[in-house]
Amino acid sequence: MQPVSFEFRGFNHELVEQLAERISKALKGYEFKGFLVGCTFEDYLSDEGKEMLKKKFQPVLVRRLEEGLGVKADYSNADIEILVNFNQDLVYFIVRSIYIYGRYKKYVRGLPQTKYYCFKCKGKGCAYCNYKGVLSEESVEELIAKHALPMFFAKYAKLHGAGREDKDVRMLGPGREFVLEIIEPRKRSVDLKKLEKKINKAEKGKIEVIGLQYCEKEKIREIKGKRNDKVYSALIVCGKEVSDEELKELLAEYNVRQRTPQRVLNRRADIVREKKAKIIEAKKKDSNTIELKIRAEAGLYIKEFVSGDDGRTKPSIAELLGIKCECKELDVIDIIK
């Protein structure tokens, strides 16, 4: 929200009226249940002087705003913070975000979870990205946000996921947990069942959201801290035909030592992770294609567990079979609670 200015000519009745009027005008169209007022008095005032104004001036302004806005001040549960800065003669507003918890499923490949910023210009816009700043037109975040934003009369939203899958990986099974943060909403009471239906109708075949509900900000930390095992279905192209015996021998649990994959080295530290992986099903699709169901500990890079990543992941499916293996398609099919 843009700050609004005022003219300061002393702490008097006119100032209260002027502030109340400008603040009320700026907040027109915003829905909020509680607000709080904070004043930053002029720097040259003594601490005693500031303390006195805080006790005398601030409550008068708060009372006048309660009347004018028809909303009670609530310091422990404020949807809007009104910050009056007497050094700048400006009033700033902080509108509390809204947080919506839910799970999403992703039925298509090539769809990233969040906006994919152009790596050449880092979002500023350049010839490479057609001056858009982003490399993908769509993301799970955008497909959800574009329906939520108009209902909350907001401009921006951010998706916080409980981890993320690669953009070419489908997210099936129970779906992935997320919190959608609506930034600076004007409307706060929206029927989330309606929103859920709207998204699922318009984005059918691409994504689906489940169990939307309001939550607190702390939920983001909670879901980001979860380290659930996942079950993947991997379609693997092999360098030569694999026999049924060889497939059967794959069915076991492995302690995998995995160095950070080469493809993410520019973003992640080069460390060795030790993760468990269990092959629970192995099927032949055609002469050189197999399908594996793999249960893996959170954080294991599955594509590299398949290919071996030039010896950086040990053991790997390629190493176990003694041939070249490449993960052609990957789906998350279950998340173990």
The residue (of 119 and 156) whose beta carbon lies closer to Zn ion is: 119
Are the C-beta atoms of residues 134 and 112 closer than 8 Å to each other? no
State the nearest-atom distance from the C-beta of 138 to Zn ion, in Å. 17
Which CB, 126 or 333, lies closer to Zn ion? 126
Q: Give yes or no: 166 in active site.
A: yes
Both tokens of 76, joined, read: 């422990």
> How far is Cα 23 from Cα 67, in angstroms, rounded to an integer?
12
Cβ(159)–Cβ(142) below 8 Å: no
CB 110 to Zn ion: min, Å: 19
DSSP 296-334: E-TT--HHHHHH-TTTTEES-HHHHHTS-EEEEEEEEEE
Binders of Zn ion among 189-248, rule CB under 5 A? Answer: none
Instruction: Determine which helix (DSSP H) or strand (DSSP E) holds 214, and give its type and residue range.
Output: strand 207-215
Taking CA 272 as the corner, what is the angle to CA 303 and CA 263, rounded to the nearest 5 degrees?
40
Shortest reach from residue 124's CB to Zn ion, in Å: 7
x/- mask, Zn ion, residues 106-135, rule CB under 5 A, reads: ------------x-xx----x-xx------
Q: Hunting for tokens 């805080």 — which residue is that? A: 54
Considering the complex, state which of residue 83 and residue 126 has its C-beta at the smaller distance from Zn ion. 126
Binding mask 27-66 vs Zn ion (x if CB under 5 A, - otherwise)?
----------------------------------------
Instruction: Please report, in angstroms and rounded to a whole number, the separation of the first and last CA atoms in the chain.
Output: 40
Rule CB under 5 A: which of 255-314 touch Zn ion? none
- The pair of three-digit structure tokens given for residue 167, joined into one six-digit string: 């953009």
Alpha helix positions (H), 9-161: 13-26, 47-69, 140-152
CA–CA separation, 98 and 182 (whole Å): 5
Tell me whether residue 138 or residue 309 sits nearer to Zn ion (CB atom).
138
Catalytic pick from 89, 166, 168, 334?
166
Instruction: Give the shortest CB-122-to-Zn ion separation in angstroms.
Output: 8
d(CA 291, CA 233): 7
In degrees to the nearest 10, what's the CA dihedral of 211, 214, 216, 222?
10
- Residue 127 or 269: the one with the smaller Cβ distance to Zn ion is 127
Q: Cβ of residue 120: shortest distance to Zn ion, in angstroms?
A: 5
CB of 282 to Zn ion, least distance (A): 43
| Contact yes or no for 84/91 (Cβ under 8 A) | yes
Number of residues that bind Zn ion (CB under 5 A): 6
C-alpha 317/C-alpha 303 separation (Å) is 10
Window 68-97: residues binding Zn ion (CB under 5 A):
none
Of residues 130 and 213, the one with the C-beta less far from Zn ion = 130
Catalytically annotated residues? 166
**Contact residues: Zn ion, CB under 5 A:** 118, 120-121, 126, 128-129
